[in-house]
Amino acid sequence: GNRIRLDGVRKTFNEGSVVACDDVNIEIDEGEFVVLVGPSGCGKTTTLRCIAGLEEPDRGSITVDGEDITGLKSKDRNLAFVFQSIALFPHMSVRKNIRFGLDMNTDLSSEEKRRRVEDVAETLGLSEALDRKPSALSGGQQQRVSLGRAMVMEPAAFLLDEPFSALDANLRDHMRVEVKKIQRELHTAMIFVTHDQEEAMTLGDKIVVMNNGYVQQIGTPYEIYNEPANRFVAGFIGSPSPNLVECTVERTADGIALASDFYTIPATETQAERLESLVGETVIYGIRPEYLDLQIDRGAFVADLDVVEPLGDRDAVHLSAGGTDLSAVTPQGEIARDTDRVHVDIQTEEAWLFEEDGTRIV
């Protein structure tokens, strides 16, 4: 059980003048790791707070296993919320911090409470730290204590709002793996909010991309990466960002082509079919950096090399062609950093096409 469903959830503020989220439809299966991702202000926290019962939606419903919980108080929802800031009680031991919710919200026997606290501490590697004060712990341990407080409640799902945003980069990477391992072990659903697309990709079984209060796409990390539903998703996911180039659809002797400021790109057969009705119109040509091939001596067009940015095993190569900035990704060291000009080929069958309003064409 424990399948959570949001149906048409809308929440506004300031007498309806601020639409924080609207028409949100999401299903979270038992044990699923769902990540809500999108830029700051897109409605992630509000959506999560509606699920938690900390906000009352203007419209729509939230159900758990078909039972409507939209009207239930937060404490009656059996969902555990882990906040952005850690907020442990500094004067209490780790043990008391973890037990706090059990003391406040349940009438379990003290034996049962002790069992739960010790089990959770064991899972989180905190057994040795139970009698210490939070100030004696590292940042990562403190974050685990705050997770432990949620875990002892044995909730139907965990709701986490940017829980790692205060941690430094190395610790954040470590905590991601920890949380993913814990979630696998507990097999409890997690709804995890982040503005960081990389964090979303590494954590989510299912990713919900939001923008301006609306869900843009729901899919696995691979679906979101390979088949973005619209221009927004294409531009938001992936680093370096994909190339998104304005082109005019033209009819040529050979068929259909896409004319940009720097190169007229022949359309593939599949693309040409969909572009027949759009001759003369502007479309957006989207192509990931890894699908630009760079050569020193020959290629479809020439570009100036601006910056080579080492990423580790690969380099991001930033180019400009006819005033348009482009990015490519190459194996480490393939393009020397002092190169002035390169020839570029496009793997055209990997391209996406969007209408000017961002709608995916093909």
Q: Does the protein bind Mg ion through residue 46 (CB under 5 A)?
A: no
CB of 258 to ligand ADP, least distance (A): 34
**Chain centroid offset of residue 133 CA:** 34
Amino acid 138 reads: S
> In this complex, which beta carbon is closest to Mg ion, that of residue 160 or of residue 283?
160
Site string for ligand ADP, 45-84 (x = CB under 6 A): xx--------------------------------------
Q: Does the protein bind Mg ion through residue 45 (CB under 5 A)?
A: yes
CB of 44 to Mg ion, least distance (A): 5
d(CA 360, CA 125): 47
Using CB atoms, what's the residue nearest to Mg ion? 45
Which residues make Cβ contacts (< 8 Å) with residue 118, sequence separation at least 6?
A: 127, 130
Q: Does the protein bind ligand ADP through residue 42 (CB under 6 A)?
A: yes
Q: What are phi and psi of 230, to 5 degrees?
A: -155, 180
CB of 192 to ligand ADP, least distance (A): 12
> In this complex, which beta carbon is closest to ligand ADP, that of residue 212 or of residue 324?
212
Residue with tokens 């393939």: 334
Query: The tokens of 44 are what?
Result: 């992630």
CB of 82 to Mg ion, least distance (A): 13
Selection from 209, 215, 203, 206 nearest residue 237 by Cα: 209
Q: Does the protein bind ligand ADP through residue 40 (CB under 6 A)?
A: yes
From the list ligand ADP, Mg ion, none, which binds 229 (C-beta under 5 to 8 Å, kind-based)?
Answer: none
From the list Mg ion, ligand ADP, none, which binds 46 (C-beta under 5 to 8 Å, kind-based)?
Answer: ligand ADP
Could you write out the DSSP letters of every residue in 100-139?
HHHHHH----HHHHHHHHHHHHHHTT-GGGTTS-GGGS-H
Q: Which stretch binds ligand ADP (CB under 6 A): 43-51, 196-204, 338-346, 353-361?
A: 43-51
CB of 3 to ligand ADP, least distance (A): 24
Q: Does the protein bind ligand ADP through residue 14 (CB under 6 A)?
A: yes
146: number of CA atoms within 13 Å, CB side? 23
Backbone angle region of 299, left / alpha / beta, with phi > 0 → left and psi within -120 to 50 → alpha: left
Count the site residues for ligand ADP by CB under 6 A. 12
Query: The tokens of 25 are what?
Result: 């439809």
> In this complex, which beta carbon is closest to ligand ADP, that of residue 79 or of residue 265?
79
CB of 61 to ligand ADP, least distance (A): 19
Q: Which stretch binds Mg ion (CB under 5 A): 42-50, 70-78, 202-210, 319-327?
A: 42-50
d(CA 97, CA 82): 14
CB of 17 to Mg ion, least distance (A): 19
Q: What are phi and psi of 123, to 5 degrees?
A: -55, -40
69: number of CA atoms within 13 Å, CB side? 24
User: Is the previous residue joined to 331 through a cis bond, with omega within 30 degrees of 0?
Assistant: no
Q: Using CB under 5 A, list all residues that contact Mg ion.
A: 45
Q: Using CB under 6 A, list all residues that contact ligand ADP.
A: 13-14, 18, 20, 38, 40-46
